[in-house]
């Protein structure tokens, strides 16, 4: 019988969990043996008893669970020690983000285990249910607007009061991917005037459908291929974008930046010179701060004031909404498990790692102690040398 271990997150500030009673119940119904580390769901407001009620067994610690498991489920990338605990023949399913912490991958390599990296799931229709980047970015876009509203010293909506009229706040959003679209929708629901810009001109219709105004910038290649994911822009495009949105940013009360490129440093969209043009008391919420930041003077994990502008560098926003973030992520992971251990007639729950499969081939970054993902190998090469 294939066994699953649900690990408790060890990283500071990580409140999510990789499986909920809903998904554990589905695993048990399929015939999996499910182990859950004690208190794994506490930060997501899930008691251990909720897991045992659907058939899971609680284990005392991470090492015990890994020693028994064929599949280890986590949210955040493992520490080096956690990676090394994945036994040979077992698969860790979690985010990896090797560019941010190569040392974590070294642990998995040394232990001889395998890693299914959730951020590498291809953006295809078949893999849509496994797309954790989208499910978590949706939450980040929502929470970014709430953070901006909390840090701003004024209302978002237009108000007509006996004491006079309160004008609505102006919000500018960089990037119309999953996070950006949710940010537009949330800011509009709060009553703000919303403008958005993106490298892809085809998203104009999506912005307008949510009640925002699209700031048009001629793209590098006039591409019309639809996508909700960011790509790297040329320096020439960034220059055109800065000129086009400069006036809007100068008048904005809140600016939210969402542009991230997987495996690379985030593009700088708001240089310090642009910050200096903004209104005194304006707010920038930088969702790319962990990848270097879309604003070159934002600070990771901090809220600071520079040139009269409040820069919000709060990280891991999905973790601040742990109930729904865990529910959505757990379902993404469940679909991954279903793909790795497909249902068969007389199902004996055998795990398969078919690298000819487009999802498995793209997402398994480390297998049996060897690195399969070329960008990860490139990041590790200096350390190996």
Q: Class of the 134-319 domain?
A: alpha beta
Structure tokens at 90: 């077992």
Pinpoint the residues of the chain covered by CATH 3.40.50.720. Answer: 3-131+322-378, 134-319
Tell me what pLDDT residue 368 has.
84
Structure tokens at 57: 């067994």
Tell me what pLDDT residue 232 has.
60
Provide the annotated active-site residues: 123, 128, 131, 134, 229
The domain 3-131+322-378 is placed in CATH, from the list 3.40.50.300, 2.30.22.10, 1.10.3720.10, 3.40.50.720, at 3.40.50.720
- Average pLDDT estimate for 80-86: 92
Mean pLDDT over the full length of the chain: 90
Residue 211 Ramachandran class (φ > 0 left, ψ -120 to 50 alpha, else beta): left
Please give the residue that has the higher pLDDT: either 226 or 335. 335
pLDDT in tens, 214-235: 998 776 655 444 444 445 667 7
- Rg of the chain (C-alpha set): 22
pLDDT-wise least confident of 83-87, 201-205, 243-247: 243-247
Tell me what pLDDT residue 227 has.
45
Tell me what pLDDT residue 242 has.
74
Tell me what pLDDT residue 7 has.
98
Burial 120-153 (b: 16+ CB within 10 A, else e): bbeeeeebeebbbbbbbbbbbbbbbbbbbbebbe
- Average pLDDT estimate for 277-293: 95
Tell me what pLDDT residue 243 has.
79
pLDDT-wise least confident of 56-70, 241-255, 282-296: 241-255
- Average pLDDT estimate for 359-375: 89
Which distant-in-sequence residues (6+ apart) come within 8 Å of 29 by Cβ? none
Tell me what pLDDT residue 231 has.
55
Percent of the chain surpassing pLDDT 70: 93
Long-range contact pairs involving 372-378 (C-beta distance under 8 Å, separation at least 24): 373/98, 373/117, 373/120, 375/98, 375/99, 375/263, 376/96, 376/98, 376/105
The CA dihedral of 334, 340, 344, 346, to the nearest 10 degrees, is -90
- Average pLDDT estimate for 339-345: 81
Structure tokens at 47: 């008691």
- Average pLDDT estimate for 150-169: 95
Q: What is the spatial order of strands in the sheet that 193-197 belongs to?
A: 213-214, 193-197, 170-174, 254-257, 283-286, 309-312, 303-306
pLDDT in tens, 145-158: 999 999 999 999 99
pLDDT in tens, 119-138: 999 989 999 999 999 999 99
- Average pLDDT estimate for 174-195: 97
Burial 323-350 (b: 16+ CB within 10 A, else e): eebbbbbbbbbbbbbebbbeeeeeeebe
Tell me what pLDDT residue 272 has.
96
């Amino acid at each position: 019988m294939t066994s699953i271990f649900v690990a408790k997150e060890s990283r500071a500030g990580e409140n999510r969990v990789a499986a909920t009673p809903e998904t554990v119940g589905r695993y048990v119904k399929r015939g999996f043996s499910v182990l859950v580390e004690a208190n794994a769901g506490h930060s997501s407001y899930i008691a251990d008893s909720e897991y045992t009620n659907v058939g899971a067994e609680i284990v005392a610690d991470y090492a015990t669970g890994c020693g028994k498991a064929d599949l280890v489920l986590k949210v955040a990338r493992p520490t080096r020690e956690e990676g090394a605990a994945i036994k040979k023949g077992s698969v860790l399913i979690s985010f990896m983000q090797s560019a941010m912490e190569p040392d974590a991958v070294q642990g998995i390599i040394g232990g001889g285990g395998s890693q299914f990296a959730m951020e590498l799931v291809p953006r295809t229709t078949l893999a849509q249910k496994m797309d954790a980047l989208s499910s978590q970015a949706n939450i980040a876009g929502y929470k970014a607007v709430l953070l901006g509203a909390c840090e701003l010293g004024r209302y978002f909506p237009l108000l007509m009061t006996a004491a006079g009229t309160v004008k609505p706040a102006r919000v500018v959003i960089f990037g119309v991917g999953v996070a950006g679209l949710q940010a537009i929708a949330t800011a509009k629901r709060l009553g703000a005037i919303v403008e958005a810009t993106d490298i892809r001109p085809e998203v104009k219709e999506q912005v307008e459908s949510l009640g925002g105004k699209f700031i048009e910038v001629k793209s590098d290649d006039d591409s019309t291929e639809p996508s909700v994911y960011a790509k790297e822009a040329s320096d020439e495009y960034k220059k055109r974008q800065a000129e086009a949105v400069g006036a809007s940013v100068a008048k904005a009360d809140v600016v939210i930046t969402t542009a991230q490129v997987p495996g690379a440093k985030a593009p700088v969209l708001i240089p310090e010179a642009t910050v200096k043009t903004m209104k005194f008391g304006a707010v920038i919420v930088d969702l790319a701060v962990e990848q270097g930041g879309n604003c070159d003077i934002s600070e990771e994990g901090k809220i600071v004031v520079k040139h009269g502008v409040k820069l919000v560098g709060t990280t891991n926003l999905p973790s601040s909404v742990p109930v729904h973030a865990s529910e959505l992520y757990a379902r993404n992971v469940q679909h991954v498990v279903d793909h790795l251990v497909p249902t068969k007639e007389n199902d004996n729950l055998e795990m398969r790692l078919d690298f000819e499969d487009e999802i498995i081939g793209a997402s398994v970054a480390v297998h049996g102690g060897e690195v399969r993902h070329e960008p990860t190998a490139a990041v590790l090469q200096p350390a190996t040398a």
